[in-house]
Amino acid sequence: MKQTPLVIVTSVMMALLCVHAAQEAPFSKEFPFIQPISIEEAPLEVIVELDSDEDGVMDKNDKCPSTIKGKSVDIFGCQLKDDSDNDAVPDDDDKCPNTPAGIKVDYRGCEVDSDEDGITDSKDKCPDTSKEFMVDGYGCPQTATLKVQFASGKYKVNDQLVNEVQEFALFLKENKGYQVVLFGYTDNLGNEKVNKTLSQNRADSVKEALTRYGISETRLTAIGKGAENPIADNATPEGRARNRRIEVELIQ
């Protein structure tokens, strides 16, 4: 029997549907509950961060949101204080403005005096000078009063005095260019002649102690001064104790 065109088309379409069904059948049987998902694109959200005072720090992080335009700020957006001499101490707190570049300063912006002898480090030719010494304009020691105080009428350097002598000997070993004059003193008790002899014995005693610590005797001169030049009031026991002393003069 001869088929019409309509029947032929219908047969072809049915055949194609059967093939498609046959291809989908295994997937559908294995995952019967899975349905196609439609995907919808979400609108793109644009976030704009503001920097209202234009200091380079975004408003959300800016602790000082009204900084004057053009001023340098820190990471929090707060204006950095002016430091004209660049010594890390703001001008408002700088007690020594215009410090030369490269000079070490303290919290006040003033140059450091590391050994506290009154001469700043950049001018100090003798750093690390003991505080016991008076120094010249270059920071070099000139005179000192050793903490060697003798009992009344005594001149021997006992165990209580030896540490001070030892420290001074160490200083002389590290500063070999100095000649040393040792001046011995007494209080005003007793007669002048006796005191003169006693003071000489005190100076000689310290000189001997220094030589035992390795200081050459040729560098040392001992002179007794008696009760001259008191540094304290002889009317009190405390004052008299301070006057029984050894003073040192250093000569370069």
Q: What is the pLDDT of residues 115-138, one digit of tens each?
A: 888 888 888 888 888 777 888 888
- Please tell me the predicted confidence (pLDDT) of residue 6: 46
- Please tell me the predicted confidence (pLDDT) of residue 63: 79
Q: What is the mean pLDDT of each run of 10 residues along the chain (252 residues)?
A: 48 50 51 59 70 80 79 74 76 79 82 85 84 85 85 86 86 90 95 96 96 95 96 95 94 87
Helix count and strand count (H, E) for the chain: 4, 5
Residue 62 CA to residue 59 CA, distance in Å, equals 5
- Please tell me the predicted confidence (pLDDT) of residue 35: 60
- Please tell me the predicted confidence (pLDDT) of residue 41: 67
Please, what's the b/e burial string for 66-101 (b: 16 or more CB within 10 A of its CB; e: otherwise)?
ebeeeeebeeebbeeeebebebebeeeebebeebee
Residue 146 CA to residue 203 CA, distance in Å, equals 11
Instruction: Break the chain into its structural domains and give their ranges.
Output: 147-251
Vertex 100 angle, CA 95 and 127, to 5°:
90
Whether residue 99 contacts residue 83, with contact meaning beta carbons closer than 8 Å, is answered with no
CATH code of the domain made up of 147-251: 3.30.1330.60
- Please tell me the predicted confidence (pLDDT) of residue 30: 58
